[in-house]
Amino acid sequence: MLHLDTIHPDSLRFLNARNTALQVLPDLAAFNAIEKLDLSSNSFTKLNLKNLKKNSLISLKAESNLLKKLRLPAFDSLELISLHRNKLKRILAAIKRQRQLKVLDLSDNKIKRVPRFVKRLDSLQEINLNHNNLRFNKRTARRLVHVKRVLVGGNNISELPENIAVMQGVERLNVGKNNLSDLPQNFSELSNLKSLIFYENSFKIIPVQIFELHNLQELDFYHNQLTAIPSEIKKLTQLKQLFLAYNQLESLPGEIQQLKSLRYFYVHHNRLSVFPAWIANMTQLERLDLSFNAISDIPDLSNLTQLTDLDLQQNLIGQFPWDLLELKQINLLLLKDNPFNLTHSEREQLKEIKGNMIMQGKNLNY
């Protein structure tokens, strides 16, 4: 329950009304200075904020309601609207007058299309349409040409439009949890892309268009059907994060070691039987995950002086890698569920080492 009568109207900057069982919005006309308004987790079916002052509100959240209708004035400073998990079937017309809007979260609704006015929201930098019923067609692409971060995961998309290259503003594209297995030829023209998420799709190979995206810093192919990584991956010289877990990889190309910017490398839940020796040359690596494979031997990793997280659990490593304990910068070392043959004294030694690591805020699990 809200007790607004005890609050001086000019002192209220942040009104948090989350989970207060509201069905009707109280009168906020007297509150001239509200900058952040959170009405999430209530039972609103409609909201009318026409009586709010136009020059103060910066952030509006009304997540996890039952919203179908929304009325807003043309705010001068509204930068964020989050209507995640409501009952919306379309992008509401009330949004089109929010000229300062930067972030629009409409995920987990039932929206089918992007209306024409979205193209005129010149300040819009991010639109989240994950988990809707979106038709990602040529019109959609044309209406998102200037948006930097486009999230359209979980929309049952089986192909991207042939004019995808018009989206020259996009820097982050999330098309995870769809049904993609190929890309339009001109996908390589999205030269500003820095982050590309293909999590949980149906790719059997990495499309060659991706290797022309020379500004790419993050590439995610988690949960696909990849059986091999082309040597052309070496062309992604700006890549910092590479996610290849949950595929069917039996080996990795040595060209990956040429990715001198790579910091995070995740290849767990594949079919690797060999820990590539060349990984020891990737001295810039900070996080490495080769867990849940069939690796039996580990090369000398003493040159990986930046490595803080190493996960090798659930492999076939028989000899305990004592030398890894010499990597002083390691904060997380996961080795459990390997067939180590340890003597009683070795187990006692490891208990002591683990205790010392815990005292230093580190984690050893074997």
**Position 241 pLDDT exceeds 80:** yes
What is the arithmetic mean of pLDDT over 98-114?
98
- Which residue bears the tokens 């208990």? 351
- What local confidence, expressed as pLDDT, does residue 324 receive? 96
Q: How far apart are CA 205 and CA 228, in angstroms?
A: 7
pLDDT value of position 243:
98
| pLDDT > 90? residue 11 | no
Residue 188, in any domain of the structure: no
* Residue numbers of the domain that contains 37: 1-111
Where on the phi/psi map is residue 337: left (φ > 0), alpha (ψ -120 to 50), or beta?
A: left
User: Does residue 201 surpass a pLDDT of 80?
Assistant: yes
Q: What pLDDT score was predicted for residue 31? A: 86
Q: Are strands 80-82 and 103-105 parallel, antiparallel or unpaired?
A: parallel
Average pLDDT of every residue of the chain: 96
User: Per the domain annotation, does 250 fall within a domain?
Assistant: no
Q: Is residue 45 part of a domain?
A: yes
Establish if 94 belongs to a structural domain.
Answer: yes
Work out the average pLDDT over 246-256.
98
In angstroms, the CA 280 to CA 268 distance is 17
Per the structure, how many domains does the chain have? 1
Tens digits of per-residue pLDDT, 319-359? 999 999 999 999 999 999 999 999 999 999 999 999 999 99
Q: Is residue 66 part of a domain?
A: yes
Q: What pLDDT does residue 5 have? A: 63
pTM of the model: 0.95
Quick check: is 65 in a domain?
yes
Residue 165: inside a domain: no
Residue 56: give its domain's CATH number. 3.80.10.10
What is the rounded average pLDDT of the residues 270-276?
98
> How confident is the model over 19-71, as pLDDT tens digits?
999 898 988 888 888 999 999 999 999 999 998 888 899 999 999 999 999 99
Does 23 reside within a domain?
yes
